[in-house]
């Protein structure tokens, strides 16, 4: 049996007595070469055979060659099975020969230092990986994300650049955690304008903690095309919103009149309808979102953007149309139909019965099947149909350059009712 013992900065003296006893009883002790002098000093006269663990492949070969009757200990950092040497040893030696003794991980130490529970946290390691893997994780808007950085991939600077290029810098606090558990430990919370620490440590973890961004000064905001990170979002479904690039296209395709009624159905965060009000302040907006807390969220975002919706309702759209709409909002000039799921065809037919002559219904879609289902309905009702696909890319850091990372394509189905 090979005991793989996770350690902290104070090891071996800081280890529990049982683990110290395993080390002292070992015939062979594997550890990084930089720790060998300290281990020899701690062990004193009764010293085992020391093996370097710096190269996992060489270590596995050395361990395989040892008699099975000898006592073997491998010292690792933190939890050996969390981005540690445990995975390599298990794949090369088999789990039956290994017994693991975890110590606190960098993730646990980082969250303990800032005093935040971490049961909802996500994490990713960039060691030896393309940093671009971070971008799609950010688009899911995790409430907390720990990033194990790689100094060879730009370290914390790469994380900051990807966060910024994703348009989410305003929605996250940025923590740099260096040498956790060591005497040189340093934990810093940085603003977007703060420089990163000079000569950062190689053992560096970045924590991104989602926080409601401060309401920006209205005079500093563009009329439309606001960064995604400026919007408050559903805590249980972060990232579930119309992305900036798609939002801009939808606003263009709506051909917004100066006055009239706009329905934003399945409004989510309210981003499309609220930005339409910034462009056309005299429009009357009905925003409907059936998700619990949806109305409160949309109202909060409206306040941040300095606009006022005529009505924001937390209802199922089909039932709302059947049972009665707020006075003055019964017949729309423009409709954005999001969501709907399996009932979207029936919902579209309800919308078409009340859409004003010359009105426009706009439906962003994710699948070809949805397009095939809804397009014939528009044509059968005599609407002029237009179809487009929007495919956007966002620049993401790649080593010393920039790569274009694709976003999910969006199909946009547009129907325009005749004026007759």
Predicted local confidence at residue 169, as pLDDT: 86
Q: pLDDT digit string (tens) for 41-58? A: 888 877 889 999 989 899
Predicted local confidence at residue 416, as pLDDT: 97
- Pair 135, 227 in one domain: no
Predicted local confidence at residue 238, as pLDDT: 65
Joined tokens for residue 326: 């707020």
pTM above 0.85, yes or no: no
Q: pLDDT grade, residue 84 (50/70/90)?
A: confident
* C-alpha angle 110-115-119 in degrees, rounded to nearest 5: 75
- Pair 118, 260 in one domain: no
- Pair 357, 237 in one domain: yes
Predicted local confidence at residue 112, as pLDDT: 96
Q: pLDDT grade, residue 292 (50/70/90)?
A: confident
> For the domain that residue 229 is a member of, what is the CATH number?
3.40.50.150
Backbone phi, psi, residue 131, to 5°: -60, -15
Q: pLDDT digit string (tens) for 128-180? A: 888 888 888 888 888 999 999 988 888 899 899 999 888 888 889 999 999 88
Q: What is the mean pLDDT of residues 3-31?
A: 90
Residue 209 predicted with pLDDT over 90: yes
- Pair 188, 238 in one domain: no
Predicted local confidence at residue 399, as pLDDT: 65
Q: pLDDT digit string (tens) for 226-243? A: 988 888 887 666 667 899
Q: pLDDT digit string (tens) for 26-40? A: 999 999 888 888 888
Of 180, 210, 240, the residue that ends a domain is 210
- Pair 249, 120 in one domain: no
Q: Are 175 and 135 in contact (CB under 8 A)?
A: no
Q: Are 2 and 66 in contact (CB under 8 A)?
A: no
> For the domain that residue 151 is a member of, what is the CATH number?
3.30.950.10
Of 69, 103, 137, the residue that ends a domain is 103
Q: pLDDT grade, residue 281 (50/70/90)?
A: very high
Q: pLDDT grade, residue 68 (50/70/90)?
A: confident
Name the residue range of residue 256's domain: 218-416
Predicted local confidence at residue 189, as pLDDT: 95
- Pair 281, 383 in one domain: yes
Predicted local confidence at residue 99, as pLDDT: 94
Number of domains forming the structure of the chain: 3
- Pair 397, 320 in one domain: yes
Predicted local confidence at residue 77, as pLDDT: 86
b/e burial code for range 76-87 (CB count within 10 A of at least 16 → b): bbbbbbbbbbbe
Q: Pick the residue with more confidence: 272 or 165?
A: 272
- Pair 235, 250 in one domain: yes
> For the domain that residue 83 is a member of, what is the CATH number?
3.40.1010.10
Joined tokens for residue 37: 């002098």
- Pair 198, 250 in one domain: no
Q: Pick the residue with more confidence: 199 or 370?
A: 370
- Pair 15, 119 in one domain: no
Alpha carbon 261 to its chain centroid, in Å, reads 35
- Pair 240, 378 in one domain: yes
- Pair 341, 244 in one domain: yes
Q: pLDDT grade, residue 220 (50/70/90)?
A: confident
- Sheet containing 260-265: give its strands across: 311-313, 283-288, 260-265, 334-337, 360-365, 410-416, 384-390
Of 103, 134, 149, the residue that ends a domain is 103
């Amino acid at each position: 049996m090979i005991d793989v013992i996770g350690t902290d900065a104070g090891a071996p003296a800081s280890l529990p007595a049982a683990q110290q006893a395993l080390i002292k009883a070992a015939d062979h002790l594997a550890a990084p070469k930089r720790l060998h002098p300290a281990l020899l000093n701690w062990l004193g006269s009764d010293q085992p055979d020391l093996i370097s663990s710096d190269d996992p492949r060489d270590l596995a070969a050395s361990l395989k060659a040892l008699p099975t009757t000898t006592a073997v200990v491998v010292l690792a950092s933190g939890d050996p099975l969390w981005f540690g040497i445990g995975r390599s040893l298990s794949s090369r030696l088999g789990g039956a020969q290994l017994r693991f003794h975890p110590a606190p991980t960098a993730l646990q130490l980082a969250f303990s230092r800032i005093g935040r529970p971490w049961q909802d946290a996500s994490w990713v390691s960039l060691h030896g990986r393309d940093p671009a893997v971070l971008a799609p994780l950010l688009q899911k808007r995790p409430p907390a994300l720990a990033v194990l950085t790689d100094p060879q991939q730009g370290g914390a600077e790469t994380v900051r650049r990807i966060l910024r290029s994703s348009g989410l810098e305003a929605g996250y606090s940025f923590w740099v955690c260096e040498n956790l558990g060591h005497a040189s430990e340093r934990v810093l919370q940085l603003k977007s304008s703060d420089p990163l620490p000079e000569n950062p440590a190689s053992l560096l973890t970045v924590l991104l903690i989602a926080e409601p961004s401060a309401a920006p000064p209205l005079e500093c905001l563009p009329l439309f095309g606001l960064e995604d990170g400026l919007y408050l979002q559903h805590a249980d479904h972060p990232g579930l919103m119309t992305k900036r690039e798609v939002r801009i296209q939808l606003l263009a395709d709506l051909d917004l009149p100066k006055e009239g009624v706009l329905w934003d159905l399945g409004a989510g965060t309210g981003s499309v309808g609220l930005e339409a009000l910034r462009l056309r302040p005299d429009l009357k907006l009905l925003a409907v979102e059936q998700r619990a807390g949806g109305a409160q969220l949309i109202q909060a975002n409206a306040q941040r953007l300095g606009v006022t919706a005529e009505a924001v309702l937390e209802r199922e759209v089909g039932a709302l149309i059947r049972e009665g709409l707020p006075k003055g909002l019964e017949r729309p000039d423009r409709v954005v139909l999001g969501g709907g799921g399996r009932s979207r065809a029936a919902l579209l037919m309800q919308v078409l019965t009340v859409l004003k002559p010359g009105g426009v219904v706009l439906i962003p879609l994710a699948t070809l099947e949805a397009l095939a289902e809804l397009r014939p309905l528009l044509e059968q009702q005599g609407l002029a149909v237009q179809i487009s696909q929007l495919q956007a890319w966002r620049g993401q850091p790649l080593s010393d350059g920039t790569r274009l990372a694709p976003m999910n394509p969006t199909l946009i189905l547009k129907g325009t009712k005749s004026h007759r």
